[in-house]
A and B are shown apart, each in its own frame.
Chain A
Amino acid sequence: MLFFYDESMKLEVSFEQFYSDLTQKANISKYIYSKNTYDVILEIAAAIIYGREVILLDGDFSEVELHNLGISKDDLAMTWIISPRLSKINHLNFNNLIIANNEKARIGIFTSGTTGKPKCFYHTLKNLLRNIKISENHAGDIWALAYSITHFAGIQVLLQALLNHNTIIDVFGANSIIADRLLKNYRCNCISSTPTFFRNYLFSTNTINERIKTVTFGGEKFNAQLMNEAKKKFPHAKIRNIYASTEVGSILSGNGENFIIPIAFKDKIKVSAENHLLLHASLLDNIEFDGDWYDTKDIVSVNEDGSFKFLSRNTDFVNVGGYKVNLLEIEEEILKVDGVIDVVVYGRDNSVIGKILVADILIIDNNKEAEVKKNINMYLRENLQTFKVPRIINVVKELKKNRTGKKVR
């Protein structure tokens, strides 16, 4: 049975091969750093089976970036010697081996670093397994891996697939056409990614994929328009939206924009007077802060029934001429204009008003650039306060994304 497929590396690995590779491993890298996703998977699997602490590094980090993170060449060469080694690892004992060390094994993951220097946060395996579902219902799942394997959401897909003995097809970094082909050829029925990935994928492929049964969004703000498009393109899928962060892991899941605090977390999650989402210290493995509650800085609005939805992250604001502007609000309005596939709005330094708003847009038909720009301008002037209208609109071929696949402002 196929375990892992990576077209870019021309690599196809069966479960038999995977267990054999794992059994033969004699050491584990303390810093997992490889461009080959399968190598990373093997190191992670070994670390959790043998209960070791490892740190994940993106395979495309440059020497300068590693230096900036405080990681030297000597660090990269550090390994855990496995002793004693397990004589046999197979699908019969694999899950028990993983769960046996769920308090000892720890994985360090760097934040996406959209602001400031990336920080490493450690997660115990127990924390990482919090939202993993193991059951017969998942036995036939085939996962499209659309996140980086070195990031929190990628690890979640890996663990979900490993513990249910599922195939993983690597589509991370593939363009929409290749991703669409891989999803269909390998009969993927589960996919988890960022709204940015889905928006580009859903709006640039016309075909409907009836095989997909689970679609999970995470990592960025999600809206009803994307939900509707996902329902059209994946008509049989159950669509979920996950709230997670590198600091705290997966916390909440909802079936649309709204989240309900699960009963188990009733006294561990609350909303502050400023509408910030607060998490109780007991949910956090490794963050130092004052008091019992950690401020995620994520701003939510509470509905009458007690559920809530995310309005924005603190970093989504910019000051324009003394007005605090919510960039997500503007992006959502621009997405309503015909011909726009995706957009990112940001502030550019300006000597007159501090920051001037710039919108980089992806459009369906580049021959209609002037028309789309005019329509955006007209629409925003009618529907938003003047200071919220981006004065500069650039049509781009691609929106910049950070290491986690989220749009960069």
Chain B
Amino acid sequence: MVKLLDIINEIKEAKGENLLTSLDKDMKLRDDLGLDSFDLALLTAKIEDEFDIDVFEDGLIETIGEILIKLEK
């Protein structure tokens, strides 16, 4: 979860947005975190580099919790 928070904050920082202090499993990537498709593309690339898993491989993911489930597999 900490690593995922770092990745999301890196993306937000590059966009000049405020950083998050924590993540919640129910947070929606687009609605709550304000990530657009280009941000999600970067998110999946960075997760892939870090964990060697393409979390969006089977289709779009909506929440932080869904990413965590993929990473736990």
Contact = CB atoms under 8 A, between A and B. Distances in A.
| A and B associate | yes
Interface of A: 321, 348, 350-353, 356, 377, 386-387, 389, 391-392
A356 B56 contact: no
A315 to B, nearest CB: 22
A387 B38 CA distance: 7
Interface residues of B, number: 12
Given A351-B54, A351-B56, A392 B42 contact: yes
A356 B14 contact: no
12 contacts: A350-B45, A351-B57, A352-B40, A352-B44, A352-B60, A353-B41, A356-B38, A356-B41, A356-B42, A386-B38, A391-B41, A392-B42
A333 to B, nearest CB: 16
Main secondary structure on B side of the interface with A: helix
Interface string B36-48: 0110111011000
A352 B60 CA distance: 8
B37 A321 contact: yes
Contacts of B45: 348, 350, 356, 391-392
A375 to B, nearest CB: 12
A377 B14 contact: yes
Contact of B44 (A351, A377, A387, A389): A351
Given A350-B44, A350-B45, A352-B44, A391 B38 contact: yes
Contacts of A392: 42, 45
A350 B37 CA distance: 11
A391 B38 CA distance: 8
A334 to B, nearest CB: 15
Nearest to B55: A351
A350 B57 CA distance: 9
B14 A352 contact: no
Contacts of A387: 38
Nearest to B57: A351
A270 to B, nearest CB: 39
Interface centre among A356, A391, A392 (most CB of B within 10 A): A391
A351 B38 CA distance: 11
A145 B44 CA distance: 45
A353 B38 CA distance: 7
Contacts of B56: 351-352
Contacts of B54: 351
Given A321-B37, A356-B42, A391-B38, 20 more contacts: A321-B38, A321-B41, A348-B45, A350-B44, A350-B45, A351-B44, A351-B56, A351-B57, A352-B41, A352-B44, A352-B56, A353-B38, A356-B45, A377-B14, A386-B38, A387-B38, A391-B42, A391-B45, A392-B42, A392-B45
B10 to A, nearest CB: 10
A353 B40 CA distance: 9
Interface in B33-73: 37-38, 40-42, 44-45, 54, 56-57, 60
A353 B44 CA distance: 10
Interface string B7-31: 0000000100000000000000000
8 nearest A-B pairs in the assembled complex, by CB-CB distance: A391-B42, A352-B41, A351-B56, A353-B41, A356-B41, A350-B41, A352-B40, A352-B56
Q: Of residues B38, B54, B56, B57, which shows the largest number of chain A Cβ atoms within 10 Å of its Cβ? A: B38
B71 to A, nearest CB: 15
By CB atoms of chain A within 10 A, which of B14, B37, B41, B54 has the most? B41
Contacts of A352: 37, 40-41, 44, 56, 60
